[in-house]
């Protein structure tokens, strides 16, 4: 009978140790996950604060169903994620609807898309990415009437907009 009590006490202690490890491990994992999420959020917020773009209304041109304009990086953050950049266009005329244009790295001129038209100027530091102080030309292909307003939004939510003409 004494052996059964010793075995029962040993099993109880082992179970207490296992439960303690699970609770401590879960608490440490949750704390690490929260700390990592807060760090990531702080980095995204910092990048957003350093991002700024500008559109020059005097450089906007419309040719057929294409809108050609320049975007200048006026912030301190490099912009290179073009697939998550959007161009929004409001058509004139009676329809007055909005169009959402997505990025294509292929051939310019596909309806509902925009692409980088030509080269980024001057593209010296990070080739193919819009560094601070650099300018890129965008060709946006729309449908319907000529736009009266358009907006460019970066992947982190910063936007610039202007009217035309």
pLDDT digits (tens, 9 = 90+) for 29-58: 999 999 999 999 999 999 999 999 999 999
| pLDDT score recorded for residue 4 | 86
Quick one: tokens of 43? 């980095």
pTM above 0.85, yes or no: no
Distance between first and last Cα of the chain: 97
> Percent of the chain at pLDDT above 70?
99
Q: So what CATH class is 54-163?
A: mainly beta
Mean pLDDT for the stretch of residues 54-78: 95
Helix (H) or strand (E) holding 67: strand 66-73
CA 96 to chain centre: 27
> pLDDT per residue over 86-132, tens digit each?
999 999 877 678 999 999 987 889 999 999 998 899 988 999 999 99
CA 78 to chain centre: 12
From 116, 157, 150, select the one nearest 135 (Cα to Cα). Answer: 116
The total of other beta-carbon atoms located within 10 Å of residue 127's CB is 9
Quick one: tokens of 13? 């202690």
């Amino acid at each position: 009978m004494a052996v059964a009590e010793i075995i029962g006490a040993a099993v109880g202690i082992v179970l207490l140790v296992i439960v303690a490890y699970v609770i401590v491990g879960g608490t440490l994992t949750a704390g690490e996950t929260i700390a990592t999420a807060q760090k990531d959020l702080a980095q995204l917020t910092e990048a957003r604060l350093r991002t700024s773009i500008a559109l020059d209304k005097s450089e906007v041109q419309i040719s057929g169903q294409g809108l050609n304009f320049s975007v200048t990086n006026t912030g301190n953050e490099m912009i290179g994620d073009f697939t998550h950049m959007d161009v929004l266009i409001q058509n004139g005329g009676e329809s007055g609807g909005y169009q959402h244009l997505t990025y294509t790295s292929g051939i310019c001129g596909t309806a509902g898309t925009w692409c980088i038209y030509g080269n980024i100027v001057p593209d010296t530091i990070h080739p193919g990415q819009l560094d601070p102080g650099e300018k890129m030309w965008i060709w946006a292909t729309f449908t319907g009437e000529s736009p009266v307003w358009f907006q460019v939004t970066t992947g982190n939510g910063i936007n610039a907009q202007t009217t035309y003409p």
